[in-house]
Amino acid sequence: MKYTTRTGGFGMARYSYSCDDHGLAEVSFPIGTAPQERDCPQCDQPARRVYSSPMLSAVDHQRMNLIDSTHETADRPEVVTSIPRGGRINSRPTRMAPPDPRLQKLPRP
């Protein structure tokens, strides 16, 4: 039988405790404040804290693949050597903004 006690709030983590008579219990405590033992809510006998791996499998596989692919190319980006076929080439030069007289007062490097 599994029972859950929730206290809610910001910075709360879920911890598991094992009771010999009633099995696992999940309880929320502020991060870093969970005791090694607590009383079972059903029988008031001591229940020991159970350590388990974090919920790594709860991450979406598509998102993990995207993260992995960005890590792989972070230090060796793909280099473009030519304009792709069918790409639009801008034949007109970009117009410069008119000069702003306030910019002349700024210090020059």
What is the extent of the structural domain holding 12? Answer: 3-54
Does 18 fall in a domain? yes
Does 34 fall in a domain? yes
pLDDT for 10 beyond 70 = no
pLDDT at 53: 75
Does 16 fall in a domain? yes
Does 32 fall in a domain? yes
Structural domains in the chain (count): 1
Virtual torsion, Cα 42, 44, 50, 54, nearest 10 deg: 50
**Rounded-to-integer distance, Cα 89 and Cα 54, Å:** 51
How do residues 47-65 score in pLDDT, each as one tens digit? Answer: 999 988 776 667 778 888 8
**Rounded-to-integer distance, Cα 9 and Cα 69, Å:** 35
Does 97 fall in a domain? no
pLDDT at 1: 38
Does 98 fall in a domain? no
Q: Closest by alpha carbon to 15, among 36, 40, 43?
A: 36
How do residues 76-99 score in pLDDT, each as one tens digit? Answer: 777 778 776 765 555 566 677 778
Does 86 fall in a domain? no
pTM above 0.95, yes or no: no
Is residue 84 classed as helix, strand or coil in its secondary structure? coil
What residue has token string 């970009």? 94
| Single-letter residue type at 36 | Q
Does 61 fall in a domain? no
